[in-house]
Amino acid sequence: MIAVKAALEEEQTTPDAVAAVTNIMDAAPRRFATAPAPVLSPNIRSVPAPVPTPKENGFQPRIPVITGEATYRGSAEVHGTISGQVGVASMLTIKQRPRNGSGEPELDGELNFKDMLRVNGHIAGKVFSSRGTLIIDASAKVEAEIDVCICVVSGMVIGDITGHERVEVGSGAVVKGNIATRTLSIKPGAVFQGDCRMLKD
């Protein structure tokens, strides 16, 4: 039978091979433990990176007064910038500066919406939607007559609320006015000053 040669054979190290590897390692440049500081010529100065400066008229806009699609007729108190076009199918963008606590409503007029509207600021007047949901955040104040399908109150409402389907008053909410609805939910901790009338189907 023919002897099979091993695929891997142990390489024989000779003193000459060890000496050659040692010479190569000695000739290679050594690394520094810490990189040395760069040396600059007297004519070259290191310039710090420029710090971006805010725009002169730039400011941090606050949360919008309302969030959602709505038609509005009335006056608006604006402390900020307005961009857009005024026309039949206009679209205005308002960026409000933080308020100084003037006490005046930011929107005073009639709001009409279809699906959902969230109030984050101070509004007054009338809010109407035949099948929409009105959400009043904890930081919001609404001095208005409200006539919507569903009304969820977490902030302050001064005025009458009509919720044709239901009205929910959260634990930290304050409602000073009458409520007319089919289903009423008032959580512990809420303040309700007014009369309640249950609507029939």
The 10s digit of each residue's pLDDT in 95-104 is 777 666 667 8
Does a structural domain hold residue 155?
A: yes
pLDDT digits (tens, 9 = 90+) for 138-174: 999 999 999 999 999 999 999 999 999 999 999 999 9
Does a structural domain hold residue 45?
A: no
Does a structural domain hold residue 132?
A: yes
pLDDT at 193 over 90: yes
Number of domains in the chain: 1
Specify the pLDDT at position 71: 87
Does a structural domain hold residue 160?
A: yes
DSSP letters for the chain:
-PPPPPSS-PPPP-HHHHHHHHHHHHHSPPPPSSPPPPPPPTT----PPPPPPPPTT-------SEES-EEEEEEE--SEEEEEE-STT-EEEEEEPPP----S-SEEEEEEESSEEEE-SEEEEEEE-SS-EEEE-TT-EEEEEEEEEEEEESSEEES-EEEEEEEEE-TT-EEES-EEEEEEEE-TT-EEES-EEEPP-
Q: Under a CB-based contact definition with an 8 Å cutoff, are residues 142 and 160 in contact? A: no
Does a structural domain hold residue 77?
A: yes
Contacts of 172 (CB under 8 A, 6+ apart): 138, 154, 155, 189, 190
Q: Contacts from 168-174 at CB under 8 Å and sequence distance 24+? A: 170/138, 172/138, 173/136, 173/138
Q: Under a CB-based contact definition with an 8 Å cutoff, are residues 146 and 127 in contact? A: yes
Q: How confident is the model at residue 192 (pLDDT cuts 50, 70, 90)?
A: very high
Does a structural domain hold residue 86?
A: yes
Tell me the pLDDT of the chain averaged across its residues. Answer: 79
Does a structural domain hold residue 36?
A: no
> The domain containing residue 123 runs over which residues?
66-198
Higher pLDDT, 186 or 72: 186
Lookup: tokens for 81: 């910038």
pLDDT at 37 over 60: no
Higher pLDDT, 27 or 147: 147
Separation of alpha carbons 10 and 158, rounded Å: 93
Specify the pLDDT at position 195: 96
Specify the pLDDT at position 34: 53
* 184: β partners: 167
pTM of the model: 0.65
Does a structural domain hold residue 2?
A: no
Separation of alpha carbons 66 and 70, rounded Å: 9
Specify the pLDDT at position 94: 72
Query: Which of 21-25, 63-67, 193-197 is predicted with the least confidence, judged by mean pLDDT?
Result: 21-25
